[in-house]
């Protein structure tokens, strides 16, 4: 590149910087794309994808997560539903790390007959659930639309200093 | 006496990289490579190496299936999974399919040589980081969510689903779901044994 073009040192610097930015954008895009469709979810199903997700979080040291599934392993879950559940869990854990500064969390997904339940609890700061009515954050509105897409209902228990507990019931 | 090694990976640079890492090793001899599962299987009909280094992502099939098939047809061949994925599920599935080892693509030359030598001697080998990932996964004791604890305590007090539902402001079916999950977690068949187990484990007084 440098051989074919005459560039002032300033331009060279700008050019280098652009290349670096491009590099980091590509990295970021790969990360996002990978998160969009976790490989383990497609290949091995929800149970494995969730436990991989927890292992990743645990290894990152951001949060200690305990993940339990009941009745998920040996059943077939529609992929759209599985992805939706995975996203909800991801978003809730994201909140526990980003907003609640929690140390530990529990993820639990269970399936009995046609009911799938998701429980995510953390020991973080907690919040007044009433503020969610007015919240404009993209996270909660995404969770909300995902739950209503699957005709589910959510029950959120929290309070300042009390951690939080989110319980979601889906009919599939 | 050198160990014969066969490489299955769809990337030439990886194959060449491994070859060059191994070329100075007197006790290891690369006998060939394949870039997909089909050509690997047809090579094995001609000749069987002692060890196969097998990538998990292959263009025609995944390495986990290929590993299982090779082990079925040629039980004497030892397989080392080779991947960039350092996740418990990939490592676990590969080992379940009969692999004797797992090496990440960021492994050093020493690790690779050690892996081949160990596996050829009939031992199992996990590269350092893969080992670390597997060890992080422990068997969980019974861990209850806050809601389950509430429900469990009320069950122990002898309340019915409907009474518990009214107390916790949830629907009776939700209480029943919690109850079912509790039975599953404690691995018991009915509410009476659930309460007994919970007392034994000192989760309720």
**Structure confidence by residue, pLDDT tens digits, B29-49:** 999 999 999 999 999 999 999
How does pLDDT run across B52-66, given as a tens digit for each residue? 999 988 888 888 999
Residue B141 lies in a domain: no
pLDDT digits (tens, 9 = 90+) for B113-123: 999 999 999 88
Number of domains in chain B: 2
With CB atoms and an 8 Å threshold, state whether A110 touches B133. no
In this structure, is residue B189 part of a structural domain?
yes
- B79 and B20 share one domain: yes
Indicate whether B123 and B151 sit together in one domain: no
Q: Do A136 and A97 meet the contact criterion of CB atoms below 8 Å apart?
A: no
Structural domain boundaries enclosing B178: 146-200
- Among the residue ranges B13-17, B85-89, B160-164, the one predicted with the least confidence is B85-89
- Going from the C-alpha of B51 to that of each of A95, B6, B7, B34, the distances in angstroms are 46, 6, 9, 14
Task: Say if residue B77 is in the same domain as residue B99.
Answer: yes
| B136 → closest Cβ in A59, A117, A157 | A59
Supply the pLDDT for residue A2: 52
The shortest CB-CB distance from A106 to any of B89, B145, B184 is to B145
The domains of chain A are located at 1-36, 41-171
Q: Which residue in B143, B147, B184 is closest to A71 by CB distance?
A: B184
> Which residues, other chains included, contact B58 with Cβ-Cβ below 8 Å and sequence gap of 6+?
B8, B9, B10, B36, B37, B66
CB-CB contact of A158 with A165 (8 Å)? yes
Strand A164-171 and strand A104-112: the pairing is: unpaired
Fold of the CATH domain A41-171: Heat Shock Protein 90 (3.30.565)
User: Å from B151 to nearest chain A CA?
Assistant: 14
- A85-112 pLDDT, tens digit per residue, is 999 999 999 999 999 999 999 999 999 8
Give residue B140's pLDDT band: very low, low, confident or very high (50, 70, 90).
very low
> In whole angstroms, what is the distance from residue A99 CA to residue A128 CA?
13
Residue A163 dihedral angles phi and psi, to the nearest 5°: 70, -170
Any B CB within 8 A of A164 CB: no
From B105, B135, B165, the end of a domain falls on: B135
Does B139 score more than 60 pLDDT?
no
Q: Are residues B129 and B151 in the same domain?
A: no
**Residue numbers in B near A58 (CB within 8 A):** 136
* B140 belongs to a structural domain: no
> What residues contact A172, with CB distance under 8 A and at least 6 apart?
A77, A78, A81, A114, A115, A116, A150
Percent of chain A residues past pLDDT 70, beyond the cut:
95
Cβ within 8 Å, pair A115-B177:
yes
Chain-chain contact of B185 with A165 (C-beta, under 8 angstroms):
no
Tens digits of residue pLDDT in A112-122 = 888 999 999 99
Residue B136 has pLDDT above 70, yes or no: no
Whether the per-residue pLDDT at B135 is higher than 70: the answer is no
Q: Are residues B116 and B177 in the same domain?
A: no
Domain stop point among B87, B114, B135: B135
A112/B contact by beta carbon, under 8 A: yes
What pLDDT, on the 0 to 100 scale, is given for residue B141? 67
Decide if B50 is inside a domain: yes
Residue B205 in domain: no
Task: Calculate how close chain A gets to B133, using CA atoms only, in Å.
Answer: 8
Mean pLDDT of B165-190: 91
pLDDT, chain A, mean: 88
Instruction: Say whether A71 and B147 touch across the interface (CB within 8 A).
Output: no
Q: What is the CATH number of the domain that holds B164?
A: 1.10.10.10
């Amino acid at each position: 590149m440098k051989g074919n073009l005459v560039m002032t040192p300033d331009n060279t610097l700008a050019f280098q910087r652009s290349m670096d930015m491009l590099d980091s954008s590509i990295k970021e895009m790969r990360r996002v794309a990978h998160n969009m469709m976790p490989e383990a979810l497609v290949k091995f199903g929800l149970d494995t994808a969730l436990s991989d997700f927890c292992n990743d979080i645990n290894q990152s040291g951001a949060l200690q997560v305990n993940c339990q599934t009941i009745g998920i392993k040996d059943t077939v879950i529609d992929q759209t539903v599985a992805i939706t559940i995975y996203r909800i869990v991801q978003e809730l854990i994201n909140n526990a790390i980003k907003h609640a500064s929690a140390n530990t969390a529990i993820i639990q997904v269970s399936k009995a007959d046609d009911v799938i339940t998701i429980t995510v609890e953390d020991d973080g700061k907690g919040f007044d659930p009433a503020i969610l009515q007015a919240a404009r954050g993209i996270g909660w509105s995404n969770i909300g639309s995902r739950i209503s897409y699957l005709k589910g209902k959510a029950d959120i228990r929290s309070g300042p200093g009390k951690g939080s507990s989110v319980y979601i019931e889906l009919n599939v | 006496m050198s160990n014969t090694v066969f490489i299955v990976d769809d990337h030439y640079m990886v194959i060449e990289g491994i070859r060059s890492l191994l070329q100075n090793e007197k006790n290891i001899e690369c006998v060939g490579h394949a870039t997909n599962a089909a050509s690997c299987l047809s090579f094995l009909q001609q000749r069987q190496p002692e060890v196969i280094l097998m990538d998990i992502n292959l263009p025609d099939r995944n390495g986990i299936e290929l590993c299982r098939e090779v082990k079925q047809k040629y039980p004497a061949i030892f397989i080392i999974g080779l991947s960039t994925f350092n996740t418990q599920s990939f490592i676990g599935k590969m080992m379940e399919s009969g692999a004797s080892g797992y090496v990440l693509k960021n492994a050093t030359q020493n690790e690779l040589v050690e892996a081949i030598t160990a596996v050829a001697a009939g031992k199992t080998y996990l590269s350092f980081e893969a080992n670390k990932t597997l060890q992080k996964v422990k068997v969980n004791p019974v861990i209850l969510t806050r809601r389950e604890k509430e429900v469990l305590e009320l069950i122990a007090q002898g309340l019915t689903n409907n009474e518990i539902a009214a107390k916790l402001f949830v629907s009776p079916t939700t209480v029943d779901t919690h109850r079912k999950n509790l039975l599953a977690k404690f691995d018991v068949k009915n509410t009476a044994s659930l309460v007994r187990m919970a007392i034994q484990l000192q989760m309720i007084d």
